[in-house]
Structures are given as structure tokens and as C-alpha cells.
Structure 1
């Protein structure tokens, strides 16, 4: 852990079939999965709680909680007996969830954030985390997105690194965190 005085938790966002195995896969999808699994394995080894969060929508829609699209990808190293799994309906994983209460019950002070998508759930969650008084480490090589109509995924990621690191997060690579 980077600072033993700060109790940490790993937040894995939206690593689900509908986003990861989409017709347009995330930028550098293979490396993304590899890095996130490395983070999960490291968290398990160091007894850092893991919170796997997936985005769901209304019943009888493609985003229903029972839909194959909203299920975690099979390749993800989540341990359903050990890790905490939550559902969210908005980009901010704190909105209308009990995540904050779960974190506070464990005396968590710092969140390690990774997953999908950079400009939506990663951005919203990092900002909300900071607003709630937690420290935030965004793993710079363990989040991703897809090209938009105006920017490549790589530029979206670079932009968010620059913006979020100004006031909301500390950036670290997977290798820097997992030492």
C-alpha cells in the first residue's frame, strides 16, 4: 500500500459485458483488463477491500440488472465470496447507493479507482469521492473509454488525467501502486 496510515479500498467500475465486449471495445482493452486484474490480485494479497460496481437500468431494458450486458465480464478476477458487489444507476457510484456507508464502516480513507468509462463513471466517481472527503488515486493505465464523435479515446483519457489531477486525484500507474 502506498500509505499504511490511509486505509484503502479498490473501486472497479463497470467492467461489464455491454461495455467491454461492445462492438467498439475500450481503448487498449487487453491491457486494461490485465492491469485491473493485477490491481484486484494485489488488493486481495494486501487485504485491501474490493468494491466491484456495475451500471444497471430499469427492468425490461437492455440495462436491467439481469441482462447479460450488465454482468461482469467473465475474465475479471472478482471473487464473489470476498469482494463487495454493488449496482448503480448513475455515473457517480455514490448516488443512491450505500457505498459511502460501506466505506465508512470499514474506516476507508482512500479510494483506488479503475474501470470504465473515463469521461463518465470514472470522472463522476473521482469528483464525488473527493467531495465526500476521501483521498483518490486514479490508476492512469487502468481506466479506459472509446472514441467519441470529437475525440479519440486516448485524448479523452489524457484530458481527464490533466483535469482530474489538478484538484481531485493523484495519478499512479498500476506498477507504481502495486509495489
Structure 2
């Protein structure tokens, strides 16, 4: 196996925040589920990453009950790691790199919530660690920050990652690309 799908922070914590009403794609589970299906069909590793802030009393505190996948997300299958991170990227506070190395993974397909934060940061760190990174832009979402619309944030993220840290693609383009290996 040389490729893995990393599903980052697609969790109820975000839906429990007031900002969720302004998220660019409240139906993010749909494109994520499609990527999960594509990855499983291709025999790729699927890794689930959830953000946790234990002891904070916030929606990211596991004791509050929101640190779990969005209800509509296809659940992990046996053997698919579910990691809990406490940093913005999926590497620093988890054993993700060790798991990927042991599985022989060299390419990471990333998706998730907070396009410009945890998904972008994981993409940058993964690139620095030598992984070929594939950023599936329409399988990420975020909410506006200050005067920046969610769409402007997503566009900015694509611009700064493109050809430097990652290949930018869409779910449909990735599906077409993987179709020959999936049959």
C-alpha cells in the first residue's frame, strides 16, 4: 500500500459551535464519504484524525461528548486507525508518521474541516516529511474569519499549497484518476 486517505477533524465538535451555521459546506460528510469509498476500493489505508482538547470544557474536550465523527460520516472499519491529536497538524501529537511508515505509505490524500487550519497544516508538515500530498479541496470546509469569506479562505489555501506543498484536486477528478485501479 503506497497511499493513504487522512480524514481530518470531520467531527461533531464543529457542528456544536455557532460558526457551523456559516461553514462553506455543512454537507462535508458527502464528499468525505465518497473519498473513503474510493480509498477502500483502491485498497488504500484510511486514517481518521479527531482534534481533542482534554480538560478545557469546550466542544473539543472529549468529556463534553462532541469529539466523534459527524453522524453522517461512514464509520471506520476494523483496522482503520482513529487518532486523537492536540495540535493543529495530524503528525506532531500522534503516531501517524510511524503508522504510515510501517504501512509503506508515500502519498497522502487529505480532506477535512478547517481548510486553512488543520488540513492545510497537516498538508505542509506531510510535504516537509517527504510525502506526496494530494489536497482534495472540495472535501474540505471552513467558516469565514473576520472579513474573509470561507470561499476566499479556501481559494487562498489552494493558492499557497498548489505546486509547493501539494497537488490540488477535486473528489470527481480523483475518482476519475483512481477508476482504473478500482476495477
Provide the residue aligned with 2:87 in structure 1.
Answer: 90
Aligned to 1:35: 31
Q: Is 2:14 the partner of 1:19?
A: yes
What corresponds to 2:49 in structure 1?
A: 53
Q: Deviations over 1:27-79 (max 9, x none)?
A: 1222x221110001111122111101000012362222343221111111132
Deviations 1:114-137 (A, max 9, x none): 001011101110100000000000
Unmatched segments (≥5 aa) in structure 2:
177-183
Scaled by the length of structure 1, the TM-score of the pair is 0.91
Q: Counterpart in 2 of 1:127? A: 124
Q: Does 1:141 align with 2:134?
A: no
Match of 1:64 among 54, 61, 67: 61
**TM-score by structure 2 length?**
0.89
Q: Distance in 2 between matches of 1:16 and 1:165?
A: 26
Give the C-alpha shift of residue 92 in structure 1: 1.1
Runs of 4+ in 1 over 6 A off after TM superposition: none
Name the CA distance, whole Å, in 2 between partners of 1:83 and 1:52: 7
Q: Structure 1: which 5+ residue stretches go unaligned? A: 1-5
Alignment partners' CA distance in 1, 2:147 and 2:128 = 29
How far apart are the structure 1 equivalents of 2:66 and 2:147? 26
For 1:3, the equivalent position in structure 2 comes to none
Q: Quick one: which of 147, 157, 167 aligns to 1:170?
A: 167
1:73 correspondence with 2:70: yes
RMSD in angstroms over aligned alpha carbons?
1.5
Work out the number of aligned pairs and report it.
173
